[in-house]
Chains A and B, each alone.
Chain A
Amino acid sequence: MSKITRLFLVLLTLVQPIFLFAQNDLMNLLDDKKPTTDYTTATFKTSRIVIGQSVENPAQGDMLFIITHHFGALNTGYENLFGLKQASIRLGAEYGLTKRIGFGLGLNTDRNTWDGFIKVKVLRQSKGARNMPVSLSIFGNTAIYTTKWEVPERTNYFSSRISYAMQIILARKFGNSLSLQLTPSYVHRNMVASYQDHNDVFSVGFGGRVKISERVSLNAEYHYLFPGQIKSEKVYSSLSAGIDIETGGHVFQIFLTNSAGENEESYLTATRGSWSKGDIFLGFNITRIFTIIPQKLGRD
């Protein structure tokens, strides 16, 4: 082989990889110099983990209708068809006013209670340019029961019908399938059954979900009620577990719980059922999502 031919071959081998990588060179031109922020989405499928609030709000311009239904207790026997004869229902609507602010209204069959709430996303879990390990929402509601006074003879004040709940919702999505949430809660009841009971009731909730497929997850939620706050009757911490099934525009949640009622004041301060005694209620939530104001597809 002559020197020249050898040189030519060497050059040819040099040319070859450059030819192959020309497209990658172009690709390198497209690499972003400044990092962007990647916000975590869908920490939970809907605005409830099981019976309690999740960190999620409806998207801006979206409305959710939620039908929550708890049957009677399973341990009431065949005469009561294991609870199927009773129902406690909440009909609710929620709306995403902005990316961060959602509000909702609900009507509960439990003492004809109306509730209204606001949930604000304060922090959003993100990585990239802005790194935030958790999402944090603040939830506040007011509930007013509207059944007749139990003791009409005495002087009753409208304010006695009112209770308030406030929650700090701290959540983190660990990868695609696991999400956990910590929910310290405070409930204030203007009137309580007995002087032995505290008006201010504190609890702390632990909840989470594990996805078992793209559209199905197992969810559980426990609200530990600090002892010594309610003495006039035996109340328990609320424990619920169930399954989430997501279809196109619906989320179905089917669960077991020891809480008969649906709103915050009810399950956080008046859970009278005990899992160990079999006071377990079968329940379901059906969430339907409607887009009221479509998102813009144009440039920002």
Chain B
Amino acid sequence: MRKFIFIAVLALLCSSGLLGQNFVTKNGNIRFYSEGKIEKIEAMNHQVNAAMNSQTGDFVFKVLMKSFQFEKALMQEHFNENYVESDKFPTATFLGKVANIKDVNFTKDGSYPATVEGKLTIHGVSHDVKATGTFEVKKDVVQGKAKFFVTLADYNINIPSAVVSNIAKAVEVTVDVTLEKFNK
């Protein structure tokens, strides 16, 4: 019977993440790239917030939409005003998990392939996404890299017919975050 209590307490400890280490960044990078028939659109965000727990594999992102920088100021204005409506939906979030967290050895330097799954919320609309990438462990730092595609229509982002050939239906999203140990 004591075993039951022991297991229950262990489960409590594990799932609350007390045993795991949190890794956090506030200046990760996300690039998105759209190659339409007429023009290429590229935007960078260098203020990406991300956090991961090495035990549970929980992995979350929080991105301020107004922090995306475009080469053309007009594109940036249209992105915020007309497409993602940044005043109404200021942030995009991702709540997910590293599916194969057990395969990543955070105590040993090296590169580990990873699969991340979860719910991506953009423009107030949530969708399940899955991306493959790598974790590079180097001392106390974990660099996560991944690339995936986001279909604009999934997130109720409407492209008017006049500019439909300027913007790709699916934009390529490249994530590059350097997570550091968060001690508290």
With A26-B51, A27-B60, A41-B77 as contacts: A299 and B46 at CB distance below 8 Å:
yes
- A22 pairs with B16, CB closer than 8 A: yes
Which of B62-70, B105-113, B126-134 faces chain A?
B62-70
B11: A residues at CB distance < 8 A: 11-12, 15
Interface string of A1-45 (1 = CB under 8 A from B): 010110110011011001100111111011010001010011000
A215 at the interface (CB under 8 A from B): yes
Chain A residues positioned under 8 Å from B72 (CB to CB): 62, 291, 294-295
Q: How far is A297 from B46 in the complex, measured between Cα atoms in Å?
A: 9
B74 contact from A25, A32, A62, A299, Cβ within 8 A? A62
Known contacts A247-B163, A297-B43; A29 and B12 CB within 8 A of each other: no
Cβ of B153 < 8 Å from any Cβ of A? no
In the bound complex, do residue B51 and residue A19 qualify as a contact, i.e. CB atoms below 8 Å apart?
no
Which one, B2-10, B143-151, B168-176, is touching chain A?
B2-10
Residue numbers in B under 8 Å from A215 (CB-CB):
82, 160
How many interface residues does B have (CB within 8 Å)?
53
B1 touches A4 (CB 8 A): yes
Chain B, residue nearest A60 (CB): B73
One of A26, A38, A96 near B52 (C-beta < 8 A):
A26
Query: Does A190 sit at the interface, judged by CB under 8 A?
Result: no
B24 CB within 8 Å of chain A: yes
Minimum distance in angstroms from B158 CB to a CB of chain A: 8
Which of B59, B62, B93 lies at the interface centre, i.e. has the most chain A CB atoms within 10 A of its CB? B62
Chain A residues in 8 Å Cβ range of B22: 26, 29
How many whole Å from B179's CB to the nearest CB in chain A? 11
A-B contact pairs, 7 of them (CB 8 A): A7-B8, A15-B8, A22-B56, A27-B95, A42-B81, A249-B74, A298-B46
Give chain A's interface residues, CB within 8 Å of chain B. Answer: 2, 4-5, 7-8, 11-12, 14-15, 18-19, 22-27, 29-30, 32, 36, 38, 41-42, 59-62, 96, 175-176, 214-215, 247-249, 289, 291, 294-299
